[in-house]
Amino acid sequence: MDKVVSLCKRRGFIFPGSEIYGGLQNSWDYGPLGAELKKNIKDEWWNRFVRQRSDMVGLDAALIMNPKVWEASGHLATFNDPLVECKKCHARYRADQTPGLAYSVEKLSTGIETKHLAVAQGTKCASCGEIWFLGKTLESPKQFNLMLKTFLGPAQEQANTVYFRPEIAQAMFVNFKNVLDTSRKRLPFGIASQGSAFRNEITPGNFIFRTREFDLMEFEYFINPKDWEKTFEYWLTEMKRWLHDLGVTSEHLHFVEVSKEDRAHYSQRTVDVEYDYPFGQKELYGLAYRGDFDLKSHAEKSGADLTYTDPEDQKNKFIPHVIEPSFGLNRSILVALLEAYDEEKIAGDEEDVRVVMRFPKWVAPVKVAILPLSKKDELAVIAKPLYAHLSKLFVCDYDETQSIGKRYRRQDEIGTPYCVTVDFETIADKSVTVRDRDTMKQERVLIAELDRYLSGKLTS
């Protein structure tokens, strides 16, 4: 993990946020390569799940919504994490994710929940080292709401309180009628969205795994309830296909069926897609059958008619049920980085280790690097127009500094699939040397045939 984090900063994938001012806890900025990587994943997801499907439409919604949305969805009342505080240094932790603490919730037959916390003997505060005893050096857990609050208008008054969205799903529910009326879609169909969400996490961390500002890609797929099981299985298969194409090794994935006790009360089935991160098996994506809870709740609270009329039977009106596949964009990026990172010993030199990011070609932030063998003008007059031409077709890099070997290694570290070297032979034979990132094999290709050659390689 440390090697990946170091490479990300050194090569311009991800920087600590506000670094010249000492940073901001768990805030990260995507650098030149990170921005391209992020865009590649977002665009491929959108093309795959929206543009290439006749049963999906898109939505780009506001970050701040009417607070009544969050009342209806239950976020204001129940979107909480259990918080404990060290009485000595006042450091705060999540009770359900801190080593040495065992937090549990018991649901009584009356519907009331009772919460329990046990502290293992010798458990110490990670911040100050104080040994914890519940009620003495460690406060009892309390519920901490994760909604990130702000105010609209010039006065910071309760009436002006609003919240940055903690998820992107609710906008798709409250816009269901608008989308249905304008798109004239029939069930089953989905509304897809991408964008930022905000959660005031108690203990963010592990690089970009858990942050207070993060990006999601998800859709709400509206169905007739009788079809939920086969639709659920279909989207589970599609998520597996996406992960394969993202370059994720199947051995690193776990598809965890969430028990009835742990899933939301309205869900008949939820699968957590978990990944073997360097810091343990944690959630990557999620797939949930949400029933009609969201649309029904918004219909009741707003008074809007969110029913669907069967076009083949006008008397058949019902509130659609929902299957929700949710893809975390930041975690997709993290997993893509972890899967791509490789250290390869060079044959014949045991001490020479090549670091290479083996991204799938569509994921790679730079597709082709143009490398003149030297800075000589006679090479530049060929290499620069070649770069200008190829950069209209692919994301390209142009580099003429340091030795060709060091430049190859630099491109390996950022995952560039192909390097095109313009050398002195090019002047005479109008050919260039194309180097493959993964095999390091080199092939001589005519400049006139380079477009077709690279297009074929990059789409194979």
Question: What pLDDT score does 261 carry?
Answer: 85
CATH 3.30.930.10 in the chain, residues?
Answer: 2-79+146-336
Contact 176, 170 (CB under 8 A): no
Question: Mean per-residue pLDDT for 33-44?
Answer: 98
- 157 or 96, greater pLDDT: 96
- Is residue 189 within 8 Å of 222, Cβ to Cβ? yes
CATH homologous superfamily for the domain 366-459 = Anticodon-binding domain (3.40.50.800)
Checking if the pLDDT of 239 tops 70, the result is: yes
Q: What are 65's two structure tokens?
A: 């919504």
CATH class of the domain whose range is 2-79+146-336:
alpha beta
- Peptide bond connecting 188 to the previous residue in cis, omega within 30 degrees of 0: yes
Q: Is 36 exposed, middle or buried (0-12, 13-18, 19+ CB in 10 A)?
A: buried
| pLDDT tens track for 335-374 | 999 999 999 988 767 778 999 999 999 999 999 999 999 9
pLDDT score recorded for residue 78: 81
Query: Of all residues in the chain, what percent carry a pLDDT higher than 70?
Result: 98
Question: Structure tokens of 139?
Answer: 């406060």
Which pLDDT score is estimated for 110? 64
- For residue 65, the model assigns a pLDDT of 94
CA gap 459, 111 in Å, rounded: 55
The mean pLDDT of 13-24, rounded to a whole number, is: 93
> What residues does CATH 3.40.50.800 cover in the chain?
366-459
Q: State pTM to two decimals.
A: 0.90
- Does 238 have pLDDT greater than 70? yes
Mean pLDDT taken over the chain = 93
Residue the block writes with tokens 């893509």: 336
Lowest mean pLDDT among 48-52, 136-140, 203-207: 203-207
Which range is least confidently modeled, 100-109, 205-214, 243-252, 421-430? 100-109
Could you report the per-residue pLDDT of 318-341, keeping only the tens digit for each?
A: 999 999 999 999 999 999 999 999
pLDDT class of 112 with cuts at 50, 70, 90: low
Say yes or no to pLDDT of 460 above 90.
no
Strands 189-198, 56-59: pairing kind: parallel
Which string of DSSP letters, residue by residue, matches 126-186? TTT-PBP-BTTTBPPPEEEE--EEEE-SSS--GGGEEEE-S-SHHHHHHTHHHHHHHH---
Amino acid identity of residue 152, one-letter, is L
Tell which residue, 368, 370, 339, has the closest CA to residue 356.
Answer: 339
- Predicted confidence (pLDDT) at residue 377 exceeds the cutoff of 80: yes
In the predicted model, is pLDDT for residue 173 greater than 80?
A: yes
- C-alpha span between 238 and 128 (Å, rounded): 47
Half-sphere exposure of 247 (CA within 13 A, CB side): 19
Q: Are 420 and 386 in contact (CB under 8 A)?
A: yes
In the predicted model, what is the mean pLDDT of residues 64-68? Answer: 93
111 pLDDT band, cuts 50/70/90, is low
Q: pLDDT of 191-237, one tens digit each?
A: 999 999 999 887 777 999 999 999 999 999 999 999 999 999 999 99
Q: How far is CA 412 from CA 2, 179, 384, in A?
A: 18, 45, 21
pLDDT at 115 over 90: no
